[in-house]
Amino acid sequence: MTSRVLLRHPSSLEHDTGAHPESPGRIAAIEQVLSAQEWLGWDVRLSPAAPRTAIEAIHPASHVARIEALAAQGGGMIDAETIVSAGSWEAALHAAGGAIALVDHLLDGPAGEYRVGASLHRPPGHHATAGQAMGFCLFNNVAIAAHHAVKHAGAQRAMIVDWDVHHGNGTNNIFARRDDVLFCSIHQGALYPGTGPTHDIGHGPGEGCTVNLPVPRGSGDDVFLSLLEHVVRPLACAYAPDLVLISAGYDAHADDPLAGCTVTDGGYAAMSASVRATAQELGVPLGIVLEGGYDLGALARSVATTLAVVGAEQQPVVPEVEVHKLSREAIERLAAGGYWPALA
């Protein structure tokens, strides 16, 4: 029995954004590469539509109704970057539903059935706040999934590792006051949406459970891998989540037109190996939820690389990487704050 599950749905192609960089071509490119490799041997399943109650656990009913109504009338612009078409409602339901089904397969299935999985849908989600669609995103798929994990699927704690080059402001804000989800974001600083400074650490009971790791323009494989190995991995071991989710954007790639980082295909392989090693060390399942990535070739190759690495029979070797200056600073900052003394 396979231990790797991939959720997809053709409705992702019906979210019509015209000439927008977040286009149906993204999913088409990914699926073309994966199908040519026989889906890497993963168990490919159609995602269900998310129950409205699951979406409304994160987004108010008024927000959900607004997206539904806009799609029903043929679509329109929410803002300069965020488009709704007639097919967007169905696509958004399955994007959220795929993320929920991913969690259920990883946590609720027969023991040992699935240890890794991926939900490959659009629209992406991590910019969507509780009450506002923005940044190409309608519903926050990974937030819906993490909430479902801790409220309905038996997890006590979940961890989200967001390596999209743009800060996941929606996810950040949704969990800012909660301690049952640890949110760690590696993103290019001073880039859309302009959020995610190091001093944003959450509030109230969630203080310390938001970890923002902005990097400068031009950052590449060594910076991202060091932050994953030397900051995110020890954080995960200290937090001990029951599930790790990657908010997996591929727009930090050197070929991506919307940002300025320089991660390579090999960099994504190393990053994927690092997070898989973390989940394996913790003895917990690993789920991947697709976010951004706008150079079609780089996106498709990098997604396929991630799936190949996290789905390998044997644990891939994580390349050795020196502790980067940003990692040292983050470790000192987190330990000094008193929330993560184990990092000292």
Out of 127, 148, 167, 187, the active site residue is 127
**How many Å apart are CA 134 and CA 145, to the nearest integer?**
19
**Nearest CA among 220, 131, 121 for reference residue 169:** 131
CB 327 within 8 A of CB 233: no
Fold of the 4-343 domain? Arginase; Chain A (3.40.800)
Cis peptide before 285 (omega within 30 of 0): no
| Token representation of residue 80 | 């300069």
d(CA 172, CA 193): 12
324 φψ region: left (φ > 0), alpha (ψ -120 to 50), beta (else): beta
Q: Is 293 helix (H, G, I), strand (E, B) or coil?
A: coil
Residues of the chain with pLDDT under 50: 1
Q: Does 127 qualify as catalytic in the annotation?
A: yes
Q: Are 334 and 235 in contact (CB under 8 A)?
A: yes
List, for residues 58-87, the tens digit of each pLDDT value: 999 999 999 999 999 999 999 999 999 999
CB atoms within 10 A of CB 28: 14
What is the pLDDT at residue 109?
67
- Would you give the distance in Å from CA 214 to the centre of its chain? 16
Cα angle, residue 328 at apex, residues 322 and 333 outer, rounded to 5°: 160
Q: What pLDDT score does 184 carry?
A: 98
Q: Are 241 and 282 in contact (CB under 8 A)?
A: yes
Length of the chain counted residue by residue: 344
Q: Please give the pLDDT value at position 1.
A: 40
Instruction: Sort 1 into a burial class: Cβ within 10 Å, 0-12 / 13-18 / 19+.
Output: exposed
Q: Tokens standing for 290?
A: 């697709």
Specify the pLDDT at position 171: 99
Rg (CA), the chain: 18
How do 43-46 and 75-77 pair as beta strands? unpaired
For the chain, the domains span 4-343
CA distance 85 to 134: 15
Rounded distance, CA 233 to CA 278, Å? 6
DSSP secondary structure string for all residues of 220-275: BHHHHHHHIIIIIHHHHHHH--SEEEEEE--TTBTT-TT---BB-HHHHHHHHHHH
> How many of the other CB atoms lie within 10 Å of CB of 77?
10
Cα(82)–Cα(137) distance, rounded to whole angstroms?
A: 7
Assigned token pair, 69: 């109504």
Instruction: Provide the 8-state DSSP code for 270.
Output: H
Contacts of 280 (CB under 8 A, 6+ apart): 315
For residues 299 and 120, is the Cβ–Cβ distance under 8 A? no
Question: Do 97 and 48 meet the contact criterion of CB atoms below 8 Å apart?
Answer: yes
Which two three-digit tokens encode residue 217? 């323009």
